[in-house]
Structures are given as structure tokens and as C-alpha cells.
Amino acid sequence: MSGPSVASVLLITSSELSTMASASKTPAYTNHDGFLLPVGFPTDSFDSALKYQAQENDLFICTYPKCGTTWTQHISYLILNDGKPLPADQRLDVVWPHLEEVGKEFIETKATIAGGYRLIKTHFPHKFTPANPNAKYIFVARNPKDCVVSFYHHTVGFPRHYDFAEGSFDTYFNLFLEGKVDSNDYFDFLREWLDHKDDPNVLFLRYEAGRKNTREYVLQIATFLDDKVYPQRLLADNEKILKLVMEYSSLDSMKKDARRWCSDRTGFKPFIRKGSTGGWDELLSMEQAEMLQKRLNETFTTEELDFLGEQYQG
């Protein structure tokens, strides 16, 4: 029997091998009782957070990851501090700690009090979020097309937590669609919080609306924090403080002194990247966009999609 001809031999280059490896590689997660966490995330703090008893003066920023969390935190911080931005030598996760990452004891003893509020961030779904009828909860929704692209860049940019620096977007997209990423299923998460959008102590915000009209977004938050104090304070003296809030919460401003927002990302895309809406087609194919739209249509009514905005509609 003769051997294969030269023409039939498949030659695979090192570049092609690298591409194949990237396509098959998946992010590393810790599966903690069915809840996916970044590697190194303290599971004891996560368990402790579930036992936290919310207090009347708690102010929660609640989001699925990569849905405007940091931006909304900083806007709220600016409102509570008369337009003064977070200093270059401070970290937002110290001033506004992440409940699941630090646990209940830290929140109870060390969380920052600003404007009478204890500041808390969480990526918990509604069913896990500590409840108190007098605490305040700001929820921010962002459409899944932009969210999945931003979340992919986030996951690539933290190799010590995900070991996915060379991972492919298509691999990540499939995991996102199946709810196999941190904070689990995007659609279930949004469904839970949307059911509570009319609760008197919940402010349900839409990221896209905030990017389109940031002034209104800021004033909505100010009114929710205290309608007798903050709107008037922001609008006084020819809107002096409101203008400061707008300036220091802009993407250009927040890109400066980026270590305020996260740990070092040298060699990767910055944590504050685009913050855009509708820019998902940089990575997302039309077929993938249609798959996300199908999940939206299955999970929400037409009226709910209208409320969420045009980015949620096919």
C-alpha cells in the first residue's frame, strides 16, 4: 500500500493551532453551589453576604455585570459629595464595596456612609439581594448585545480570575447564552428585577436611556436619593453641581486615573472602554444577535420590551 500523496497531507501552522486552541478554551470559574464566580473570589464572603440583614439606610447599586455599574456608582457618589470626584488615590471598591466579595461583617463595620447612606454594590439576583422595605435599590439594565461584548472584554482582561486572555468571542457568547458565566443567566436576572421595577424603594434605570440623556439620568438618581434635597442642590447656582456631576461622570473623565475603578489591566483593554450603546456589531454576528433577541422575546412581553427600549427589540 502506498502512503498518502504530498497533496493529501494537511499542514497545520502554529498560528492555526493557536486559533484552534483559543476556540476550544473556556473561562475558568468557581462553581459555588450552582453560582459561577471568578477564580479567587472568596466563597466564604459570598456565603456571608447571603446572611447580611439590610438596614434602612442602605443604598444598593444592583446590576448584572457590565451593565453600567461603575458609571452609576460614580454618578451617585458625585451627587452625594456635591460633585467632588473620587480622588485618584482611592478605589471605588473600598468606598462602595461589593457585598458578595467582602461579606456581611465588612459591610456592617467598614462600609462608607455618605449622605446618610451606607453604600453597597451587588451583582446578586433579586432573590438573593438582602431586603429591607426602607432601604433603597438602584437597578440598571443594559441590553444583552452590548452586555455580552463588554463582558467578553472584561473576562479576557482579567486572566488571573478567568484564564481566558486568548479565548474566542464565539466560545464566550455560547456560554453567555446558556447562562454559564459569572452571575449566571442574564435573562433570568433581568426578569427577576423587572418584576420589581414598580416597588417604591426601587429605581429601575436603563443604561441606554442614561447614555442618551445623562442629565435626566442624574436627576432621576438625585430625586430617588432624596427629592427634597438633591435635585435642588444640583440645580442651584446655575446648575453648578449638576454640571460637575456631568463632567466627572463622563467617559473621558473616568478614563483618567483608571486604577480608581479596578485592579491593574496592563496589556489589556481598559476597564472603562467605550460605554457605548449599539456598538455590539464589533464582535456580534447577525445570527448571534438574533439568538439573543429570541431569548428576549421568550422572556419578556412586547410591552416590557417597549419599556426597556429599542435596543431590546428586533
Q: Angle at the Cα of 140 (from 182 to 155), degrees rounded to 5?
A: 30
Helices 169-177 & 14-24, crossing angle to 10 degrees? 10
CB distance 252 to 274 below 8 Å: no
CB distance 72 to 140 below 8 Å: yes
**CA 40 vs CA 62, 120, 262, 304: distances in Å:** 22, 21, 15, 37
Name the active-site residue from 123, 126, 154, 161. Answer: 123
Cα–Cα distance, 64 to 36 (Å, whole number): 13
**CA 82 vs CA 61, 222, 233: distances in Å:** 19, 11, 8
For residue 264, give every residue at least 6 positions away whose Cβ sits within 8 Å of its Cβ, in sequence order, or none: none
Cα–Cα distance, 293 to 272 (Å, whole number): 26
Catalytic residue status for 123 = yes
What residues are labeled active site? 123
